[in-house]
């Protein structure tokens, strides 16, 4: 691992993003738009206050998952990955570069959604705001890491895009957003216990219910971060220098 190569990689990815104005626009506008829709579809402050923060955790993860898996697949198919593999760049340099760059992008995304939610949509969050931002960033980091990991198993863009419904939607169903987890049957709850999004959503829930930082919140944050790091390390392991 080499810090200056990692930073150069993050900077390169952000430069690529800067050239792609439409993607930036979509990344920032889509979550905010969904949040606004959500607020007016339910048109009920209690429901919005319960669900809103959870979605603040889910949106960045989904967006980052898609963006990352497509970006790395592109790196593979364009031959730039093969070229990088002949240079001193370490696999972890590349993955951390992606994680870093997209976390910066996620920060902008979360800042915009949060500002709109807190001002215009009157979202009520009991816990400290910085923790909410931190959890949202961890969630987006998780999305980046999972996207990197999954792209290792996708050979085509078609496959990559379908990893979203395959990997994210089951978590979405089981994370406690649609049906509280204690109302699920045991086997479903057990599955949800090993899925990272469960902890991401649970952390956001804690923030809406408690004004202080609870032990559960800290645990949830650590679990999400742990999943992210594990996915990055596995992602590096699935990135071979030599191919057939």
CA pair distance 202, 140, nearest whole angstrom: 15
138: enclosing H helix or E strand: helix 129-151
Taking the complex as a whole, how short is the minimal distance between the CB of residue 16 and other proteins, in angstroms?
Answer: 5
44 lines the binding site for other proteins (CB under 8 A): no
Taking the complex as a whole, how short is the minimal distance between the CB of residue 3 and other proteins, in angstroms?
Answer: 11
Tell me how long the chain is. Answer: 244
Q: Is the Cβ of residue 28 or residue 89 nearer to other proteins in the bound state? A: 89
Taking the complex as a whole, how short is the minimal distance between the CB of residue 44 and other proteins, in angstroms?
Answer: 43
Range in contact with other proteins (rule: CB under 8 A) among 2-10, 30-38, 146-154, 182-190? 2-10
Q: Give Cα separations from 217 to 44, 110, 135, 185, 220 (angstroms).
A: 26, 19, 9, 24, 5
Q: Is 105 exposed, middle or buried (0-12, 13-18, 19+ CB in 10 A)?
A: buried
> 45 to 74, contacts with other proteins by CB under 8 A?
none
Instruction: Judge whether 101 and 24 are in contact, CB under 8 Å.
Output: no
242 lines the binding site for other proteins (CB under 8 A): yes
Range in contact with other proteins (rule: CB under 8 A) among 6-14, 45-53, 100-108, 159-167? 6-14
Residue listed under structure tokens 């997209």: 102
Q: Which residues of 166-180 are buried (b: 16+ CB within 10 A; e: fewer)?
A: ebbeebbbbbbbeee
CA pair distance 219, 226, nearest whole angstrom: 10
Q: Is the Cβ of residue 15 or residue 156 nearer to other proteins in the bound state? A: 15
Q: Is the Cβ of residue 77 or residue 115 nearer to other proteins in the bound state? A: 77
19 lines the binding site for other proteins (CB under 8 A): yes
15 lines the binding site for other proteins (CB under 8 A): yes
> 89 to 148, contacts with other proteins by CB under 8 A?
89
Helix, strand, or coil (residue 43): coil
Instruction: Judge whether 208 and 49 are in contact, CB under 8 Å.
Output: yes
One character per residue 70-99, x = contact with other proteins (rule: CB under 8 A):
--------xxx-xxxxxxxx----------
213 lines the binding site for other proteins (CB under 8 A): no
Contacting positions for other proteins (CB under 8 A): 4-5, 8-9, 11-12, 15-16, 19-20, 78-80, 82-89, 241-244
């Amino acid at each position: 691992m080499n810090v200056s190569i990692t930073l150069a990689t993050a900077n390169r990815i952000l430069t690529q993003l800067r050239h792609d104005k439409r993607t930036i626009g979509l990344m920032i506008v889509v979550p905010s738009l969904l949040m606004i829709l959500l607020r007016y579809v339910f048109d009920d402050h209690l429901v919005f206050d319960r669900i809103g923060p959870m979605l603040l955790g889910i949106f960045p993860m989904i967006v980052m998952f898609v963006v990352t898996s497509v970006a790395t697949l592109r790196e593979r198919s364009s031959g730039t990955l093969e070229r990088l593999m002949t240079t001193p760049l370490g696999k972890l340099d590349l993955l951390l570069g992606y994680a870093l760059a997209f976390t910066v992008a996620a920060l902008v995304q979360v800042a915009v959604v949060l500002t709109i939610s807190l001002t215009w949509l009157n979202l009520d969050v009991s816990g400290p705001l910085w923790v909410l931002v931190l959890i949202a960033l961890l969630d987006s980091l998780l999305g980046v890491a999972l996207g990197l990991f999954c792209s290792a198993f996708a050979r085509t863009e078609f496959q990559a895009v379908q990893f979203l419904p395959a990997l994210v939607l089951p978590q979405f169903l089981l994370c406690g957003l649609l049906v509280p987890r204690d109302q699920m049957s045991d086997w479903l709850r057990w599955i949800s216990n090993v899925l990272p999004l469960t902890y991401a959503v649970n952390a956001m829930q804690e923030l809406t219910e408690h004004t202080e930082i609870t032990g559960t919140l800290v645990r949830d944050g650590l679990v999400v971060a742990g999943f992210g790091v594990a996915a990055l390390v596995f992602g590096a392991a699935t990135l071979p220098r030599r191919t057939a």
